Amino acid sequence: MTDLKYPLKDNTIPLWAVPIIAIIMPLIVIIVFYFIRKNVYDLHQGVLGLLFSVLITAVITDAIKDAVGRPRPDFFWRCFPDGKGVFHPVTGDVRCTGLKSVIKEGHKSFPSGHTSASFAGLGFLALYLSGKLRAFDRQGHIAKLCIVFLPLLLAALVGVSRVDDYWHHWQDVFAGGLLGITVASFCYLQFFPPPYDVDGWGPHAYFQMLSESRNGGQSESNAMNSLTVRQAESGTVYSRPDQAVETSEVITQVTSSILDDLERGRRY
């Protein structure tokens, strides 16, 4: 139990600050890009992807915490606030004397929720920035890469603070960061092309709208051409009765002349 006797400390980054880091900050950046480019598709898909990333990560993290139940590094002082361990005389089982809520929280070390949420939100932001700035256009712009890695650096600092506060083991932080960045990658690719793609600067929905607009324009042009052809054909059809009338008049005149000749005996 030596690795569980670290002192009980307050959080350097409190729980209420996690939504600000993981959601509010990326949202501000997405909104700024909306005002620059005026692309409502990008705003809509960016917000959806960010929220999906953080919420899915939070659900998975809580499920793993409850299933694993790994003690935190400060679990001894949660279990024995007075520093005196109490054990069953026969079985040797631990008998905690601390508050039940504090003890229950002490069994949620793996994985780190602060770290997973931070990497989910800021990892999504890093992918979003890499697409918008075209960081992987093979032009050698180091400044773009520095901007892209800033959110990841902030998320890593959150993880370091969790180990420094003795709320998590380093394995908890590593697993939380891996979980967050994995979910962020899946959610980003659901709404956007890969950042290294030629069209990585815009969402899938925007390019789909452009494709449908082009197809709609071609369909309208084809419909107009078809209508013109039909009108031409209908004009030809309506001109045929006039020709038939003229032909019938000629036949009638010829027939009348023949009948007149027969009556007058000219035929014979």
Structure tokens at 119: 């990497």
Tell me, letter by letter, the H, E, C secondary structure of 24-36: HHHHHHHHHHHHH
Cβ atoms of 179 and 111 closer than 8 Å:
yes
If we measure between CA atoms, which residue out of 55, 165, 67 comes closest to residue 116? 55
- Within 13 Å, how many C-alpha atoms sit on residue 241's CB side? 4
- Name the amino acid, one letter, at 193: P
Residues in the chain with pLDDT values less than 70: 1-2, 88-90, 92, 217-268
pLDDT of residue 237: 45
pLDDT of residue 212: 82
- Name the amino acid, one letter, at 127: L
Catalytically active residues are: 114, 168
What digits encode the pLDDT tens for the residues 88-102?
666 767 788 888 889
Burial class (CB in 10 A: 0-12, 13-18, 19+), 251: exposed
Angular region, 182: left φ>0, alpha ψ -120 to 50, beta rest: alpha
pLDDT of residue 266: 44
pLDDT of residue 82: 82
pLDDT of residue 259: 52
What average pLDDT is seen over the chain?
83
Separation of alpha carbons 71 and 146, rounded Å: 37
What digits encode the pLDDT tens for the residues 166-186?
999 999 999 999 999 999 999
The pTM of the full predicted model, rounded to 2 decimals, is 0.77
Peptide bond into 241 cis (omega under 30): no
Q: Which residues contact 63 (CB under 8 A, 6 or more apart)?
A: none
